[in-house]
Amino acid sequence: MARGPELPSVAQLLEIAGDFGIDMTPERAAEYRVTMAGGIRAMRRIDDLPEDQPEVKYPRTTGRRPKPEENPYNAWYWVTDIKGAADGPLKGERIGIKDVISVAGVPMMNGSRVLEGYVPQIDATVVTRLLDAGSVIVGKTASSDFSFSSGGHTSAFGPVRNPHKPSHSPGGSSKGSGAAIAAGDVKMALGGDQGGSIRIPAAWCGVVGFKQTHGLVPYTGCMGIEMSFDTVGPMADSVENVARMLSVLAGPDPLDPRQRGVIPDDYVEDYLPAIGQGCEGLTIGVVEEGFGHKADTWPDLQFLPSDRRVDAKVRATVKGMKQMGAKVRKVSVPMHYDGMRIWFALAAEGAVDVMHHRAGLGSNWQGYYDTPLLDHVAKSLKARPNDIPMTVINVLLMGEYLRRHYHGRYYAKAQNQRGSLAASYDAALEECDVLVMPTIPQLSGPIPPPDAPFSEYMFRSLNMLNNCPQMNATGHPAISVPCGMIDGLPVGLQIIGRHFDDFTVLRAADASEKLGDWRKR
């Protein structure tokens, strides 16, 4: 049986009281210590009682690290061969799993040395659903360090490279999934998206990546960053395969608080009928604020300006959809620029709370808490603080500063501003079925060298967030579909839809894909 917590010492209570700014004498601390004895004994009993946890349904072996010759782009952290059900809608499909998603018995690092040695005891709900559908889990794809970078250079075992141009970034943080699909290793993979981390690597790797409506797909068993926009979703070599995956992944999970009151318990939807419908009759809104960014569009944030060639490829795709029968109109969403700032305020303080103070799980919600993950992360953060990546240190310092000196004011204000931000896109979607803009208004940049200065390391991690995080703040579904090549590098078209109208987003994405081979556009 577990021993449980020890009764705190007087010195420990005085230290905690001091942190709270409470004046306390040793004598009073001793009195408080006596009153805590019963509560501490109760905690010991909690340790003795068994926990409910999801069933691990399919046998597997641990797997292994891939050999260099079978992992030329460093897309894979771990390789496995976990077979699911004998039949199902994804029968025999080989699928990669981003290494922020738990697969029982298979090591998980979330791209970081800090988590080295952790082996989950459960399968995430999305993994169980994929296996129930007959798929084969062939490995864990590499993630950015703590999933907190959109560059290719931040990962525990070295940079992940873009299969189209190995000297350049595949985007992040689901970069291993994007690179593995682009390299032809698998047709489908799971990614995670808190600020564009599915759509950014999809755009730069030339694959399809879908951040569906927030809450549509359960997050149980995945390490989080900010609970109000944590998302896990499908990436694939085609819109059809994304639709196949989403049909399996979507639906309620009583263990995930993100879904409570969001979708009905009997929710069932097949997204495959969206494929092949074309775009005749659809109204497409071209969001002008998504194009033509200048160096001073975000003077407070270090984003690159738009590449006119990228803008042109996206507009040419929209023109092609118009020729296929879609109606096209210009729309304006002025809050698009401030949407990035609202997201940043949420990410800065929210990530500190979830990632550091609550070890990737957060608190004050009802559902499944992965206590082995909680224990490992908490201990590792204390034991290996100097292995925390610079991108995470940056947000920890800023978020904790704001929390300590401004008592969560900016996080709270940003949460209060989310409604207005969502309403600004909803207003445009009253006139249009979907909205479009470049996923990333620049081409993939070079991977910085290992000895790159701090400024370049940070710049190459976060300089491409112009158009993606806004949809995390609002929860709207958004997909990235390849729509052209420039200098051997892919360009992505982002399509945004109404909440829970993921079907129409997939319909429009499939229509854009059917304009012809994007590599030749």
Residues catalogued as catalytic: 98, 173, 197
User: Largest alpha-carbon pair distance within the chain?
Assistant: 82
Q: Count CB-CB contacts under 10 A for residue 430.
A: 8
| Pairwise CA distance, residues 124 & 83, whole Å | 15
Only one residue has tokens 């940043």, namely 344
Q: Count, in order, helices (H) and strands (E) of the chain.
A: 14, 11
447 contacts 175 by C-beta, under 8 angstroms? no
Residue 95 contacts residue 189 (beta carbons within 8 Å): yes
Starting from the edge strand earliest in sequence, which strands make up the sheet with 327-331, in order?
Answer: 76-83, 136-141, 94-98, 188-192, 232-236, 208-211, 478-486, 489-497, 434-438, 283-287, 327-331
Are 96 and 190 in contact, with CB atoms under 8 Å apart?
A: yes
235: left (phi over 0), alpha (psi -120 to 50) or beta: beta
Q: Is 456 exposed, middle or buried (0-12, 13-18, 19+ CB in 10 A)?
A: middle
Q: How far apart are the first and last CA of the chain?
A: 65
Q: CB neighbours (10 Å) of residue 101?
A: 25
C-beta of residue 475 within 8 angstroms of C-beta of residue 499:
yes
Q: Are 215 and 251 in contact (CB under 8 A)?
A: no
Name the percent of the chain in helix, strand, coil, to the closest 5: 40, 15, 45
Residue 15, C-beta contacts closer than 8 angstroms, at least 6 positions apart: none
> Is 43 in a helix, a strand, or coil?
helix
